[in-house]
Amino acid sequence: MRTDFTLNEQWLIQPELDRISDDRGELQIPPKYMDVLFHLAKHAGQLVSRQKLLEDIWKDTVVVEESLTRAVSELRKLLGDDPRNSQIIETIPKKGYRLIAKISWKEQLPSNGINISEHNGSGHYKRPKFQILISLVPAILLAFTFLIIRILRSDEPTSSSIRLMPLTSYQGEESHPVLSPDGNRLAFRWDGANGYRSSIYVKIIGSEQPLRLTDAEYATEPAWSPDGRYILYIKMTDKGRELYAVPSLSGPERRLVEGVIGARDPVWSPDGAYLAFAYRENSARTNSIYTYHLESQILKQVTQPEMGHTIDRKPVFSPDGKKIAFIRTVDGQLDVYVLSLQHGQLKRITRTNQWVIDVDWAPDGKTLIYASREGIWSVDAAGEMPPSFLAAGGMRIDNISVARDSWRLAYQQAQLEMNIWKIEIDTLTGNASMAQRLIASSRVDNFPKLSPNEHRLAFISDRSGHPQLWITTDDGNDPVQLTEFNGCSVSRPAWSHDNMQIAFIAEYYGNADVFISDIDGSRPVQLTKQRSREISPYWSHNGKWLYFGSNRNEQWQIWKIPIKGGRAIQVTKTGGFKPVESPDGKNLYFENWTGENYVLMKMPISGGNETKLFQLESGWFEGWTVTSKGILYGWRSRDDRVLKFGVYDFETQERKELFRHVRSGFRFSANSTGEKLFFTQADRDESDIVLLDNFQ
């Protein structure tokens, strides 16, 4: 057993509890940090080499010296020790460290009474019992007085001590925050401001510099082990998304689960025996919640979502490990559900149109905390009481995390500005002009579509609160809002060939359907009314039909429905998402997913074989467009994230790269000749992590 001690008569160090405290309060510190401090204390006044510390403390782990440097640095911050004028831990350049603080050891000695022994390096001193009793009198009187005051004031209202404070403010995107069980450390994903490679980092709350744990090209979605010793995370490998673990104080990573490719949202059970994550065993199925027993390696599906219409994700164990809360998407509506692992009972907790983003358990095990576009809410985990508003945040909130042992909550706060840009292309040389920002706001402007006569531009913007349909002139002036759906999301506009109507997708009452609106802003007409998801509408060449992608038969296929209403007809048999007719109305082009890659397909309008044209390096539903001369397409490589444009020539049936744009963009369209290109560019895409402390 490691003995407690004090430093400079100020700090009480309790090694067995991994706790340091002074008159301001207590703080849990990582076990390895305590190991370093205790090791230096055992050799107080002596030089301890860096190599010796690494060998004794990280003896079972391969670790870099940065871990030791970070531990000493964080200890100094926690103890208020200035490295330039150290009073506690002295650095001996190129050699090691020395504890120079005044140290007093505390230990319990066997005795008939209370007997405290203190050692300061020069000898022992035993305090007589009567002195101990005398010294305790002030403390007893103070405690008694405090108790009386508490009793007298027990009926008086108390002010809340809830605090809201930033945890990170680095350049780039910090996301997927998860608080350690004790609430004193934060693990998160950070792209390091480079925009395409991300790693898992850990920092002590109150410190500035984080510790990088992973060196993978892409690592995300961290989760703490219940003892705080390891971080579970998703690593992108040649096989896909795999589950790995790494020590929370740095060390070698290892693959934790074999054969589970594509898992998402992993979490650890409170007893450390299980993992839970969202997963689908093959592309024909939908995401379900699975558990994985680490010792027996048994993978078990625990939720049974309806095929094609339901998606389960974001699982989180209750503090007692007997239940799992998760987000279920039913026809586009996202709500909180709770599953009993003992009895298999499933209960829907929320019934809102709020688009629930994430969920976690409160420390009491009786309350759920969830985030939506409207803010952060608390709700009774039994589903018997309505939700209560906890904090504002809106559409920029994502990925919440509640500490298991303290009322602390961390969440991701995004700052996203997406604008619409224009590039003009010389169709003979393929050369491109300088990009021009056409439509700009401090919000998200997306899905640009030029009208066939090239006089107007339709786009989607959330500048009114939720994504709605807007139109503007071809030069980006005089924007007008066409739709005003209350609390729903609108996307993917498509112009009719007479320039008088626009089809679009609206997730109205939680269900994605096809709507048509006149450009005069009259009430939109709902064209599809299925319990399935409809996406990417496109007008037929003759103006009589509207194509769209749908999963109504448990597989994505291309369908078409009469403009005037009626029964929809399935067009494709091998699958498909985004349909586009050729300018002459003879062929239908569409995007499909083969299970490994996105591909561009082709079939005759009159019917016939569905053939593959070429593989799409990026499948975004909006990553290509058809012109009179060929198919213009774009992609982003993982190495540099530069937006590249190419063309598939109808005459030569060959592909070639046209030009590159130095900024990353997506979702583009072009005029009929391919001379004018419109695309969405993220001009600001950052996020920070915020702490909501003492939110009980």
Indicate whether 489 pLDDT > 90.
no
Among 24-33, 147-156, 186-195, 371-380, top mean pLDDT goes to 371-380
Tens digits of per-residue pLDDT, 560-618?
999 988 899 999 999 898 999 998 889 999 998 776 678 899 999 988 899 999 988 76
Of the given ranges (20-34, 234-248, 333-347, 410-424), which has the lowest mean pLDDT? 20-34
Q: Percentage of the chain surpassing pLDDT 90? A: 45
Over residues 35-60, mean pLDDT? 87
Q: What is the DSSP letter of 141?
A: H
What pLDDT, in 10s, does the model give residues 104-162? 998 643 333 323 233 333 333 333 343 434 434 443 443 343 344 333 433 333 334 57
Residues in the chain: 696
User: Do 4-120 and 163-415+688-693 show the same overall fold?
Assistant: no
CATH for 417-686 is 2.120.10.30
What per-residue confidence (pLDDT) applies to 323? 97
CATH pick for 4-120 out of 3.30.2320.50, 3.30.450.20, 1.10.10.60, 1.10.10.10: 1.10.10.10
**74, HSE (Cβ side, Cα atoms, 13 Å):** 30
Residue 197 is predicted with a pLDDT of 75
- Which residues have a Cβ under 8 Å from the Cβ of 422 and sit 6 or more positions away? 435, 436, 437, 438, 676, 677, 678
Output the 3-class SS for 439-505.
Answer: ECCCCEEEEEEECCCCCEEEEEECCCCCCEEEEEECCCCCCEECCCCCCCEEEEEEECCCCCEEEEE
| Cα torsion through 184, 187, 188, 191, rounded to 10 | 120
**Which of the four pLDDT bands, split at 50, 70 and 90, describes residue 293?**
very high
Architecture of domain 163-415+688-693 in CATH? 6 Propeller (2.120)
Largest pairwise CA distance in the chain = 104
Is the predicted pLDDT of residue 637 greater than 70, yes or no? no
Q: Please tell me the least confidently modeled range out of 111-125, 464-478, 678-692.
A: 111-125
Helical spans, DSSP H, in 43-159: 50-57, 65-79, 129-152
DSSP labels for 205-252? BTBSSPEE---SSBEEEEEE-TTSSEEEEEEE-SSSEEEEEEETT---
The pLDDT value recorded for residue 74 is 77
Overall average pLDDT of the 164-172 stretch: 85
Instruction: Tell me if residue 144 falls in helix, strand or coil.
Output: helix
Which pLDDT does position 664 carry in this prediction? 62
Identity of the highest mean pLDDT range in 150-159, 174-183, 231-240, 432-441 = 174-183
User: Any idea which of 185-199, 256-270, 408-422 has the lowest mean pLDDT?
Assistant: 185-199
Residue 195 pLDDT level (bands cut at 50, 70, 90): low
**Residue-averaged pLDDT of the chain:** 83
User: Where are the chain's structural domains?
Assistant: 4-120, 163-415+688-693, 417-686
Confidence of residue 198 (pLDDT cuts 50, 70, 90): confident
Q: What's the confidence (pLDDT) of residue 107?
A: 63
pLDDT of the residue at 439: 92
Residue 186 predicted with pLDDT over 80: yes
Measure the CA–CA gap between 274 and 293, rounded to whole angstroms: 5
